[in-house]
Structure 1
């Protein structure tokens, strides 16, 4: 079979023509129109052309639209100035393919008022099934993560109650001491504190912005249903990250800041704050000190029947009233046995 020599059987290069916008915002450009192939099911003649050969040139059989397929790369036959009017109509009487604008079947003369449209062929290169091995691997990864989450949830929420005996109590009190001196700091120069001194500037990256950087395009082939297919570029804008520079200021500033702590602790019922002496008598001078935050912790030490020990931090009022060898109950983790001190209760 001799095919017509349109551009030596090669696709022509053409200017991209805007053809619409996808739902995801991608711009579609039409890049060409080509003939679909079909194989005659009666005489097995292959690679017949969708437009040129509406009937088999060897046996005269009408073109079967369900036998159409996309040509392999390099075998495309381009069409110039093709007038596309829609997908072919299938005659309800003899199933012959007719042009979309035809009113009567070219084969048997039947009216085409109730004719169905030719089914479109999907490009196999664009409809490849996902790799089953990758799918299986992903399935097992997801299943493993779910099992870990379930196991972790069980470990977190599963608890058991234990009986406890109070064996000891202890306390700890901490006083933070701050000192006043020059600190090195930095910030963007549009927000430098007024108290800053010895200021120096340096240009640095403050943020980034996305700037256009061309397009990322993918090619696709679309069956038009009339014996032709069109090629399209589906393009999304690309962006690159561009740094935005600004001046950063490095400076010294006099500030109060944590310097040391005064800690007292013991295993009795007589908590007290530690003694200390401040430098500079509490004034504001280089090296002067002042009292900062105070923290206090009061601990109950308990043991279960298996001699496992637990420690719970409670408020001072409750801590002051407890007695050694008193009985308690508490929930602990069902797997690791960690204390849930929020559930600690004294038994009558």
Structure 2
């Protein structure tokens, strides 16, 4: 028979529908492949893949730790086996005399000579300007439901009575609320500023003595009329050579306390502990 019993279609119609369906399926498949190729062309080939968050955090922490370790290594004192090449010292004494200075302040010193005053801004204060409405997000505890809680009461006769009560269970609820908040402006505060002359002991010169030996002495300042001696300073240095990698040597000049410096001798081999500021001390083993 050339006719389908179920749908009544002829064999010719059935064959035509079958081939049309195959053609439609092939067309859909072809369009799907074209769309996929088009999407792949639009994706940059060199787009890097995003690293997982944990890996990036660990990388940042590792870099931070390396920086901290490097800083600590640079600042930590270095132990060096050195040969003492030279020892030198210097001592200074400041020479002071009274000098007139022009200064200003919000109060006048007792020994100052007033020149003039001015009203100037000394500081700023917050002054209420207006209020503005701000919407804030807040949370509050609200009853979510009740739970039955049982307890037992001793009746005193060897028996217990069960009692049940409803206990509220709370949950956090988020809500918004309009709040009036003050807005302030900065307002200058004026005060009287004093401009004046004042005489002060001022360093005008420095007497210095130095030497390449271990017999330090203080300089003898030559003072003029109206002058006096001021602060005193003393510094003691050691020049030493130490061996670096590959047989190379390096020379450095380091400051030391007098108590240790005076015990050193030229040509002596000794172990020094040297900090990042260039201050050295004998390494006590």
TM-score, normalised with respect to structure 2: 0.57
Q: How does 1:124-203 map to 2 (within 5 A)?
A: 147-157=66-76, 160-188=78-106, 191-203=107-119
Cα drift, residue 302 of structure 1: 1.4
Gaps in structure 1 of 5+ consecutive residues: 1-131, 223-229, 281-287
Within the alignment, does 1:303 sit opposite 2:241 as a pair?
yes
Paired position in structure 1 for 2:178: 233
Q: How does 1:282-297 map to 2 (within 5 A)?
A: 288-297=226-235
Gaps in structure 2 of 5+ consecutive residues: 1-49, 140-174
Cα drift, residue 161 of structure 1: 2.8
| Aligned with 2:135 (options 196, 202, 218) | 218
Judging by fraction of residues, say which structure has more strand: 2
| Aligned with 2:257 (options 311, 315, 329) | 315
SS in 1 for 2:72: helix
- CA separation of 1:144/1:318 partners in 2, compared to 1, >3 Å: closer, same or farther? closer
- CA separation of 1:216/1:207 partners in 2, compared to 1, >3 Å: closer, same or farther? farther
Judging by fraction of residues, say which structure has more helix: 2
Larger radius of gyration: 2
- Preserved contact between residue 216 and residue 237 of structure 1 (Cα < 8 Å): no
Question: How many Å separate the matches in 2 of 1:260 and 1:311?
Answer: 27
SS in 1 for 2:71: helix
- Preserved contact between residue 328 and residue 346 of structure 1 (Cα < 8 Å): no
TM-score, normalised with respect to structure 1: 0.47
Q: How does 1:27-42 map to 2 (within 5 A)?
A: none
- CA separation of 1:221/1:208 partners in 2, compared to 1, >3 Å: closer, same or farther? closer
Within the alignment, does 1:246 sit opposite 2:191 as a pair?
yes
Q: How does 1:90-109 map to 2 (within 5 A)?
A: none
Q: Deviations over 1:290-332 (max 9, x none)?
A: 1101111111111112422233322334333321111211245
Cα drift, residue 156 of structure 1: 2.8
Question: How many Å separate the matches in 2 of 1:312 and 1:221?
Answer: 63
- CA separation of 1:338/1:251 partners in 2, compared to 1, >3 Å: closer, same or farther? closer
Paired position in structure 2 for 1:325: 267
Q: Deviations over 1:245-284 (max 9, x none)?
A: 111101001111111111222212232223332121xxxx
Q: Deviations over 1:164-223 (max 9, x none)?
A: 1111000011110111121111110xx31111113311111212211224336237799x
Question: How many Å separate the matches in 2 of 1:221 and 1:162?
Answer: 63
Question: How many Å separate the matches in 1 of 2:177 and 2:229?
Answer: 74
Aligned residues: CA RMSD: 3.7
Question: How many Å separate the matches in 1 of 2:62 and 2:178?
Answer: 38
Aligned length: 196
- Greater RCO (Cα-Cα under 8 Å, separation 6 or more): 2
